[in-house]
Amino acid sequence: LRVRVPSARSVELAGDFTNWQPIALKQGDTDEWEVTLPIAPGVHRLAIRVDGDRWTTPPGVVAVADEFQGTVGVIVVR
């Protein structure tokens, strides 16, 4: 997974495929942060946290309401 987050000092990812446990992404080129994870095919929900702030939908990912009055992103893994 790769996400572009300008000026970030840290980026974490959590999703149904991590049991909602935060995973730190590593900084790649310039503003890109990335992590490689085994993710089963299917529809998955996820969120990111930048610099320890609140959890948000990753940029460029469709957002849907979650059961906690917030939003999460949805991705499809084939």
Classify the phi-psi angles of 3: left when phi > 0, otherwise alpha if psi is within -120 to 50, otherwise beta: beta
The DSSP symbol for 17 reads: G
Q: What's the whole-model pTM score?
A: 0.90
The answer to whether the beta carbons of residues 74 and 43 sit under 8 Å apart is: yes
> One digit per residue, pLDDT tens: the chain, 78 residues?
999 999 999 999 999 999 999 999 999 988 999 999 999 999 999 999 999 999 999 999 999 999 888 899 999 999
